[in-house]
Amino acid sequence: MDTATPGNAVHPALGALALPQPYLLFLGDTIEPGFAKTAFGLRDWARDKCIGEFACSPDAVSTGLPHMRPAAAHAKGARALVIGVANSGGVIPAHWRASLVEALAAGLDIVSGMHVRLASLPDLAEAAARFGRRLIDVRSPPATIPIATGRKRSGKRLLTVGTDCALGKKYSALAIARGMRARGLDVDFRATGQTGIMISGSGIPMDAVIADFAAGAAEMLSPDAAPDHWDVIEGQGSLFHPAYAGVSLALLHGSQPDMFIACHEAGRAAILGTPGFALPDLEEVIALTRTLGRRTNPAIRCGGVTINTARLSDEDAAILLDGEADRLGLPVADPMRGGPRFERLLDQCLAP
């Protein structure tokens, strides 16, 4: 897929990542596809950088890429094992360590987007030193982040928001940026999570930023730009999430979007990994995003809705998307299916 890579100016502290590639995607023993979003994101948006997948359990989810052990992957050209899991808390369980050491011994560096730092784990640090390999943590924010000012910036911005985590905000942002570029617009995808950063090569992991500076990080990520330039900003979490709403709010205030897209997954009824919390209605998400977003951009608008219909047939997806469009009075599309529905959503986003 044609990804949206950074081209417009960003704060010099962000820089560009130079990660060892291609990748072997590590799935651990993860059985919930939503927690393997890093692996699926790289497969779908950076397929040319992925050699295969590796798991430490036969019950783990699969990306559909060839399964291979680290030595075989290295022989085929892989240069890094990427931890393709984004579990709650960003932890690396002890029973994964043998597999990670195996990768180091096979000649692969390890790239991680988890909260825990790889070098803080003694067995990994020792193995990396012994085999001369690198431990690379992507979830590391810039050293110096300013406190947000709330100052209106030049350029145009679009933010994806959601009913929950891991349901399509990143995919929607990437697809919208690609769609705008296809129309000849000046546009950049701005990554705010580990997977987006691995795909695009730069960004800020918003959930690793100290709370007081999170809105400032969002301002830093999307600075002043030409009047006709679009920054399409990857959303994080949900304003309704019992644990992560603070990240979502800081990103909303700091990014000051002119336009937002509400994202949902068909069939999901409860917050992922947090039993007892029902998902909000799309109407609630749209209304609250408008209310809170007006704090830093009084002109904020909703450009439409994206729904992840990957588990539905073409016919059922069409019925759902068209029914929601009629009900909400907004364009509704699955960005991965594309087609006229997605083009109508882009039309709405770009309407004066």
Q: Break the chain into its structural domains and give their ranges.
A: 23-137, 156-350
The pLDDT value given to residue 175: 98
Residue 15: per-residue pLDDT: 61
Q: Is the pTM of this model over 0.85?
A: yes
Per-residue confidence band for 12, with pLDDT thresholds at 50, 70 and 90: low
Separation CA 61–CA 68 (nearest Å): 14
Domains 23-137 and 156-350 share a fold: yes
Is the four-CA dihedral 27, 28, 31, 32 of positive or negative sign? negative
Rg from Cα positions in the chain: 20
Which residues neighbour 40 within 8 Å (Cβ) at sequence distance 6 or greater? Answer: 33, 63, 84
CATH of domain 23-137: 3.40.50.720
Please name the amino acid found at residue 290.
Answer: R
* Residue 81: strand pairing partners: 24, 110
With left for phi above 0 and alpha for psi between -120 and 50, is residue 80 left, alpha or beta?
A: beta
Note the pLDDT tens digit of each residue in 239-285: 999 999 999 999 999 999 999 999 999 999 999 988 899 999 999 99
Give pLDDT, residue 90. 82
Q: What is the pLDDT of residues 211-242, one digit of tens each?
A: 999 999 999 999 999 999 999 999 999 999 99
Tokens matching residue 352? 């004066």
- β-sheet bridge partners, residue 24: 52, 81
Confidence of residue 13 (pLDDT cuts 50, 70, 90): low
Please state, rounded to an integer, the average pLDDT across all residues of the chain: 94
* Domain 156-350: assigned CATH number: 3.40.50.300
pLDDT, tens digit, 9 for 90 and up, residues 293-319 = 999 999 999 999 999 999 999 999 999
